Amino acid sequence: MLTLYHAPTAVCAAKVRMVLAEKDLAYEGHLLNLHTGDQFKPEYMKLNPNAVVPTLIHDGNILIESTVINEYLDEAFADKPLRPAGALGHAHVRLWTKKEDTIHDAINTMTATIIFRHELLQKPPEERAARYAKIPDPAKRAKWEKMMADGLDAAVVQEALVRFIRHFRDMEKALGKGPWLVGENFTLADSGLLSFFYRLEFLQCAGLWQEHFPKVTDWFVRSKGRTAFQTAIAGFIPQGDQEKYAGISAPLWPKVKAVNIKAMSTV
């Protein structure tokens, strides 16, 4: 039996849901409300001491970290494989999932400075301080405080955009060789990135790739057409939330674009 602790809009939880959907695996889902702090409850932190989602339980065994979970699922449920056969094929996919892990923090940076900052700045200082204090990792806590203070002017925003540019360039090159990142078939190399791209699109930042990387743009359009994408990612975000956050994000796109232009000049 598979049990998944997740949240509707959490990008890493969506990564795992995407694989579950691609492989037609049924699971029992437990939704956490990250805004009210379900991830910090002691009973959940016993499962995942990092206080993040997702957490997968398979036959009593606890797994954390979305990339590790997805590799586990592909090995444990060999039907409908999401990696090419053989050690070399696995290694090619692993190179992409390793790159993917390096931009997760950049996704969080953009989400925090565009959406979470807007929401947190409306709360009293003591409530904001209490929210930061719950973050277990001191480095992440300090980063959050800085982002909330500086917004899109924070140095980490340009650093995030530099990471995206490099990643998009690598993708553009790989997609010149085949329809998917590792050749002819959709794999974990592709599936793990979809929730990241959808988050950026959700933040009205699709211009980051649409204006410069045509093969990446085509790849994402085709990916969104997959049944699993609708089931695992798009279908979890209520229309009201999409409209609400688009209203917050759209006015900030010119600022993001300006910082991105500056970032491109440094890469």
Tens digit of each residue's pLDDT, the chain (267 residues): 999 999 999 999 999 999 999 999 999 999 999 988 899 999 999 999 999 999 999 999 999 999 999 999 999 999 999 999 999 999 999 999 999 999 999 999 999 999 989 888 888 888 888 888 878 788 888 888 889 989 999 999 999 999 999 999 999 999 999 999 999 999 999 999 999 999 999 999 999 999 999 999 999 999 999 999 999 999 998 888 888 889 999 999 999 999 999 999 998
DSSP 119: H
Q: Whole-prediction pTM value? A: 0.92
User: What's the Cα-to-Cα distance from 122 to each of 127, 148, 158, 248, rounded to whole Å?
Assistant: 10, 11, 25, 13
| Residue pair 114/249 in contact by the 8 Å Cβ criterion | yes
- Please enumerate in sequence order all residues whose Cβ is within 8 A of that of 182, keeping only pairs 6 or more positions apart, or say none: 84, 89, 92, 93, 96, 174, 189, 190
**Is there a common fold for 2-76 and 86-264?**
no
Please give the Cα distance from 259 to 165 (Å, whole number).
Answer: 12
Strand partners, 61: 58
Q: Where are the domains of the chain?
A: 2-76, 86-264
Residue 263 identity: A
DSSP 220-263: HHHHHTSHHHHHHTGGGS-HHHHHHHHHHHGGGHHHHHHHHHHH
What would be the CATH architecture of the domain defined by 86-264? Answer: Up-down Bundle (1.20)
Residue 144 identity: W
**Which tokens go with 177?**
């060789």
Domain 2-76 has CATH 3.40.30.10: yes
pLDDT value of position 240:
82
pLDDT value of position 242:
82
Please give the Cα distance from 52 to 38 (Å, whole number).
Answer: 10
Beta strands in the chain (DSSP E): 2-6, 28-31, 55-58, 61-64
pLDDT digits (tens, 9 = 90+) for 28-75: 999 999 988 899 999 999 999 999 999 999 999 999 999 999 999 999
pLDDT value of position 143:
87
Please give the Cα distance from 81 to 61 (Å, whole number).
Answer: 22
pLDDT value of position 250:
95
pLDDT value of position 229:
97
pLDDT value of position 120:
84
- What are the CB-based long-range contacts (under 8 Å, 24+) for 101-107? 101/67, 102/163, 103/163, 103/164, 103/167, 103/196, 104/11, 104/12, 104/196, 105/160, 106/159, 106/160, 106/161, 106/163, 106/164, 107/11, 107/160, 107/196, 107/199, 107/200
- Please enumerate in sequence order all residues whose Cβ is within 8 A of that of 26, keeping only pairs 6 or more positions apart, or say none: 2
- Please enumerate in sequence order all residues whose Cβ is within 8 A of that of 235, keeping only pairs 6 or more positions apart, or say none: none
